[in-house]
Amino acid sequence: MFEDKTIVCRDCGQEFIFTAGEQEFFAEKGFTNEPQRCKTCRDAHKRDNYSRRNSGTRQLYDAVCAECGKDCKVPFEPRSGRPVYCSDCFKK
């Protein structure tokens, strides 16, 4: 049913094999997207993301609470048309 497939890594540009077994595993888990990175780049990407998450630094953005009007900081960039709540109002 599945056949090995050659894919080009989006980071390093090297070809890698998406094996029939891996494709079967993806299908069993309901994954619809094929991998875009080779194993080396995928591991490096995970390591970089892990380091960034655990470095203690987090980008915070200024916002105004849509409920009470107080200035607050949020860990995502607010978009116009979408309400942002301070931590007190969010808990409600």
Q: What letter represents residue 60's amino acid?
A: L
What integer pLDDT is reported at residue 71 of this predicted model?
Answer: 95
Distances from the Cα of 68 to the Cα of 37, 39, 64, angstroms: 45, 48, 8
Q: Which two tokens stand for residue 18?
A: 């998406």
Among 82, 42, 44, residue whose Cα is nearest residue 61: 82
Among 43, 46, 39, residue whose Cα is nearest residue 16: 39
What integer pLDDT is reported at residue 16 of this predicted model?
Answer: 97
CB atoms < 10 A from the CB of 31, how many?
Answer: 12
Per-residue pLDDT tens digits of the chain, which is 92 residues long: 899 999 999 999 999 999 999 999 999 999 999 999 999 999 999 888 776 666 667 788 999 999 999 999 998 899 888 999 999 999 88
What integer pLDDT is reported at residue 47 of this predicted model?
Answer: 86
